[in-house]
Chains A and B, each alone.
Chain A
């Protein structure tokens, strides 16, 4: 290998490597499908209040509105869902919408980049429905999610 070739190879490796897709890891994660903006931003309160039944209507709105959904794992990590059961419509897709606030067991591939976890869910192994009944503690979040009944 000539000097020029070696230098070019090293330079190419240094610049091209970050652009390549990361190596994935097969995982099985149990957790709740959440809306990530409310969770990360704190715009509607603390993390405990923007999950579960209390936040279910808002989770539907956010998912339908194209806000990324995540799987909040039992380990406390958030896994940004990029594809689920073959559906790559991660911005307002039907599959993720029907799972809003549900506790699921997901089998798929995990990728990590720049502090975020990304998950390609190949199969929802189990759908347990909404199991976090935190409306008993927090009511509904946000408060206007359930319209006042007309008399």
Chain B
């Protein structure tokens, strides 16, 4: 019996190792962002609440506003989507939220940079769909959700110039956080 159990354990180890080295770029149609360490990657994963998965804090799992991760089916690695497909400082939580607890297919860019400490399993998600579904959804929801939450901030220019919370902080301590006026901050940074 002990031999059987040991054999099963030994069998599991090389399997996990070989899967971990898998290349996820095959089949990806992700667009390049010309980042030094980007690698196209498409894979199946479960959308999980990271706070629940890593720390066991699950009472409010999948609630809006919590960071969501991708638990990759092939190797059980937890990938952290830091970014969606938009180019204006937007994370991926709103795009992943409808899928929390579900299996999905994603396509995007993995960041694996040996020169930056900790830059591993970081992801920019560009497309998402329920696993096996035909149609992809673009991961670009952030600005629409923000606009719906901030009707008072409607106006010209990108959202980040109109965000009430950001503007309140900048009005208080300046663009550099040093209490300088916009004119002063502009001048000393040229």
Which A residues contact B (CB, under 8 angstroms)? 1, 3, 6-7, 10-11, 14, 18-19, 21-22, 24, 36-37, 39-43, 47, 53-54, 56-58, 60-62, 64-68, 76-78, 80, 82-83, 88-94, 97-98, 100-101, 109, 111, 113-118, 120, 129-130, 133, 135, 139-140, 145-149
Q: How far is the CB of A140 from chain B (nearest CB, A)?
A: 4
Cβ distance B4 to chain A, nearest Cβ, rounded Å: 7
- In the assembled complex, which residues on chain A have CB atoms less than 8 Å from the CB atom of B89? 58, 61-62, 64-65, 67
Within the assembled complex, what's the spacing in Å between the Cα atoms of A40 and B78?
17
Interface-centre pick from B4, B63, B117 (highest chain A CB count, 10 A): B117
Interface status of B156 (Cβ within 8 A of chain A): no
The binding surface of chain A is classed by DSSP as mixed
In the complex, the answer to whether A37 meets B83 with C-beta atoms within 8 Å is yes
Residue of B66, B90, B116, B175 touching A88 (CB-CB under 8 A): B66
Query: Are A7 and B8 in contact (CB-based, < 8 A)?
Result: yes
Interface 0/1 of B1-44, CB less than 8 Å to A: 10011001100100000000000000000000101111000000
Q: Which residues of B contact A (CB under 8 A)?
A: 1, 4-5, 8-9, 12, 33, 35-38, 50-57, 60, 63, 65-67, 71, 76-80, 82-83, 88-94, 111, 113, 116-122, 124, 142, 146, 159-161, 163, 165-166, 169-170, 175-178, 182-183, 185-186, 188-190
B91 and A60 form a contact (CB under 8 A): no
Nearest 7 A-B pairs (CB), nearest first? A66-B91, A21-B56, A91-B93, A89-B65, A115-B120, A65-B89, A130-B177
| Interface contact A42-B113, CB-CB below 8 Å | yes
